[in-house]
Every structure is written in C-alpha cells, then in structure tokens.
Chain A
Amino acid sequence: DVKVTQSSRYLVKRTGEKVFLECVQDMDHENMFWYRQDPGLGLRLIYFSYDVKMKEKGDIPEGYSVSREKKERFSLILESASTNQTSMYLCASREGQMIHNYGYTFGSGTRLTVV
C-alpha cells in the first residue's frame, strides 16, 4: 500500500513563528498536494507539485510556500504563522494522470493550532 506520512499529528505554534509541515510518500508518485480542512469549508487546495522543484498555486496559497527538492518529500511552509491558519493540514499524492489513477492517497493529517 502507498503510504503518505506526515511528520506531526499535532502542533502548537506561536503567532509569527515560521512553521514547517513535512510530508513523505513511499511509492514514487509524481504528484503531491497540500490541503487544509476546516469545518463547513471542506478541503481547500493550498499548493500542489507535479514534479521535483515544480510547484503550482492552489486556491488559497496566501501565507504559504512549498518546497519539493526530492520526489518523495513535499514540505509546506507557513512563513509567519497567524491564528487564521489554525486548521487540519492534509498532504496527498497521486501517480500520473487522473485518467489512469483517479485516487489521491492522503496522510493522516497534521492538526496545527496557532496561539
């Protein structure tokens, strides 16, 4: 089974801190994604990457950046954490084109609280 591993299940950070959320997948998937999940809003795409060193903005990229230096690792960076970034963050990966593989494989999520 594909595994997507997020380094932390729970994080508490202070306003203004720089925060790194790490995600590693073990099946050589090309595509990786970062979502945040909030009650009543569902999953919203922050950034995605379809190749090493490639990145594309999603629907809500403001306040975030990403890094993909290796194929298996996709990091989400909160440059200066704010309380409105308190959320559940989900990383996902997918192999190739959707026509061949519809499904994303998600990690278990990181619940980030910014105080």
Chain B
Amino acid sequence: QKEVEQDPGPLSVPEGAIVSLNCTYSNSAFQYFMWYRQYSRKGPELLMYTYSSGNKEDGRFTAQVDKSSKYISLFIRDSQPSDSATYLCAMSASSSNTGKLIFGQGTTLQVKP
C-alpha cells in the first residue's frame, strides 16, 4: 500500500464548477501537508500548505486537513480554464532538514470553457 493515495483522474469539469481534489494517507505521523500545481511541461509549484489539522483559504482555493480520517482535500471555487493542470498532494512527518516530502500520484484536472 502506498503511503499517499490520490485519484489520478482525469477530472473534467465545466468552467465555474467547484472542484474537490483529495488524498488519503496511511502514516499518522504526517503533519505538514501541501498541494502543488503542475502545468504541462513544467515543474510543480507550491499552491497551498497547512500544518496539522484545519482549513486554510487563499482566494478561490481552500485546503482542508482531517488527521483523524487521514484525509486531505483541495477545493477550487469558480474554476477557470487556467486551473487546468495536474494537482499533487504532498506531505511530511518531519520538520528537519532531512525531512522528506511524500507525493501523491497527482490528479489531472481539465476545466472546459
């Protein structure tokens, strides 16, 4: 079983829809949670990060962490064609220099005009 599971999609939605992207994980020691966005032929870029449980909002994006269920989510409101990309969740148990990020497989999102 992989430490981090993410539905690869692809997920196709109409412009303006609310998008929900999810990851589950098995390691209860994870406490740093991130979402990266990767456009085609580009490297991933950090989109959101949260520490421990709770919600974090940034514009149209909301990240949620439920440590009791070992489940994290990224919500995109009023989705735009420019949101079309692959979204990767990532998490780590350690804050040290040698702490490793474990990535999900990535979900490919297409927002149709």
- Where the two chains meet, the residues of A that have a C-beta atom closer than 8 Å to any C-beta of B are 4, 30-31, 35, 40-45, 48, 50, 56, 58, 90, 92, 96-99, 102-109
Contacts and interface: CB of A to CB of B under 8 A. Distances in A.
A52 to B, nearest CB: 13
Contacts of B104: 42
B94 interface: yes
Interface stretch (B11-19, B40-48, B65-73): B40-48
Interface string B78-106: 00000000001010101111111101111
Interface of B: 4, 6, 8, 32, 34, 41-46, 49, 51, 88, 90, 92, 94-101, 103-106
Contact of B95 (A35, A40, A99): A99
Contact of B6 (A42, A44, A50): A42
Which of A44, A56, A109 counts the most B-chain CB atoms under 10 A from its CB? Answer: A109
Nearest to B100: A45
Contacts of A98: 32, 92, 94-96, 99
Nearest to B44: A106
A97 B49 contact: no
A101 B91 CA distance: 13
A27 to B, nearest CB: 14
Which of A41, A58, A104 counts the most B-chain CB atoms under 10 A from its CB? Answer: A104
